[in-house]
Amino acid sequence: MNIDKTNFICLGSKHQLAKIKSQSITLEAVHVPVSSVVTCIGVQFDSQLTFVLHVQYLARRRFYHLRQLRSVRRTLKTDSAKALCMH
């Protein structure tokens, strides 16, 4: 187990999560802190599974790429620009 990459998250409603008092768990003498957000295969999961943080992250990435395309748009042919926007 790679402790630097190991995360633990409790999932539930706000009411259910308020009942949990533990701030970490112990696995084979290794303390793993309880996280409110974990990332697995590029998807950010929060403890209530709202995906708000993941959607915000994706939106930031998309806007970044759109701004980059804007700077080169004038040099592209219309068909090329459409093809880039479709991906």
Number of domains observed in the structure of the chain: 2
pTM > 0.75: no
**Quick check: 76 and 84 in contact, CB under 8 A?**
yes
> CA dihedral defined by 22, 28, 30, 33, rounded to 10 degrees?
-30
| Per-residue pLDDT tens digits for 24-46 | 888 888 888 889 899 989 899 99
Burial class (CB in 10 A: 0-12, 13-18, 19+), 28: exposed
Query: Both 36 and 60 in a single domain?
Result: no
Per the structure, the complete domain to which residue 74 belongs is given by 51-87
| Per-residue pLDDT tens digits for 1-27 | 677 788 889 999 999 999 988 888 888
Residue 87 has pLDDT above 70, yes or no: no
Query: Both 62 and 86 in a single domain?
Result: yes
